[in-house]
Amino acid sequence: MSLIMHEFENNEALCERLAQCIASGLDGALNLREEATLAVSGGSTPKPLFAALSRCELDWSRVRVTQVDERWVPEDHPDSNALLIREHLLQGHAAAASFDSMKVAIDDAFAAESACAQRLAAFADAIDVVVLGMGEDGHTASFFPAAETLAEALDPATERLCLAVRPPAAPHDRMTLTLAALLRSRQLYLHITGAKKLAVLQQALAAQDALTYPIHAVCQRSDNPLETFYAPGS
């Protein structure tokens, strides 16, 4: 189990610090390679983090951004994570970054897997920075408990970069990076807020059962511990 906890008084202080850590990781990558890669999650938690990150000064023109997962809806749909990223992250200094969204022009997520993997080919090796969220059911990315393709998504031996998932209880089919892709990352962050999510994370650490608590699956690499940033409140 490898998880490092960083607790903050409030989400504002958390987002400022996490944005600095992400920017520093991207800057470090740019000192070593022509391009740096960043994969971010969606949902409601990351909005203030995206705003803080968009204010960070770095050579964003050499940063490629993609998604950890996506709801399979048009990119102008209010539930689209790509829309969230465009409206809240790719602003200010970060507007110069390039964005490879997951949603290809194929209506069925399951039929879109290979086209999505082709679009995200630049992220097939080690992604420099990955930012995860977590649901109150212990899911992260789109690794939803009881989803039919969960075991495949969590297969550490898979060569697949992304996979379609039908959440049993959440709206929209999803596309998600696989666990194998996430564990290849150079830096893995988890951003959660609220006592309920902290309790779920603690249950996941105790249960050690990734099919019940998929978040457990990303706490496995001792050489790349899950840097968890937590603040109380919603």
Contact residues for ligand 6PG, defined by CB under 6 A = 41-45, 68-69, 71, 81, 133-135, 140-141
Backbone angles phi, psi at 51, to 5 degrees: -65, -45
Dihedral (CA of 96, 102, 103, 104) sign: positive
Q: To which residue do tokens 């992604």 refer?
A: 127
Least distance CB 68 / ligand 6PG (angstroms): 6
For ligand 6PG, the closer of residues 194 and 225 by Cβ is 194
Least distance CB 31 / ligand 6PG (angstroms): 29
Cβ atoms of residues 10 and 231 within 8 Å: yes
* CA distance linking residue 11 with residue 233, whole number of Å: 8
For ligand 6PG, the closer of residues 78 and 222 by Cβ is 78
For ligand 6PG, the closer of residues 71 and 184 by Cβ is 71
Backbone angles phi, psi at 57, to 5 degrees: -95, 115
Least distance CB 195 / ligand 6PG (angstroms): 14
Least distance CB 17 / ligand 6PG (angstroms): 18
Cβ atoms of residues 234 and 194 within 8 Å: yes
For ligand 6PG, the closer of residues 97 and 192 by Cβ is 192
